[in-house]
Amino acid sequence: MTCTQADIDALKEAIATGARRVKFGSGPDSREVEYRSLQDMIDTLALIVNEVQPNAPQPIRTSYIAHSRE
């Protein structure tokens, strides 16, 4: 199934409101997805954005390592 900008908008709105269930499309082609976690939603959003807007800048991920000498 081809993703659209409307799918991106629907997923962003769900992330912003804290909903885990997202309805994509309308009419007979509509579908509803329930995500397990916020991280699943963020990962899916990145995949959809990459498909719809392949030249869009990718978010920068930063990891920090904690260390203790105890």
Euclidean distance between CA atoms 55 and 69, whole angstroms:
44
* Cβ-proximal residues to 26 (8 Å cutoff; 6+ apart), any chain: none
pLDDT, tens only, 20-63: 999 988 888 889 999 999 999 999 999 988 888 777 666 667 77
pLDDT, tens only, 2-32: 788 899 999 999 999 999 999 988 888 889 9
* Domain boundaries defined on the chain: 5-52
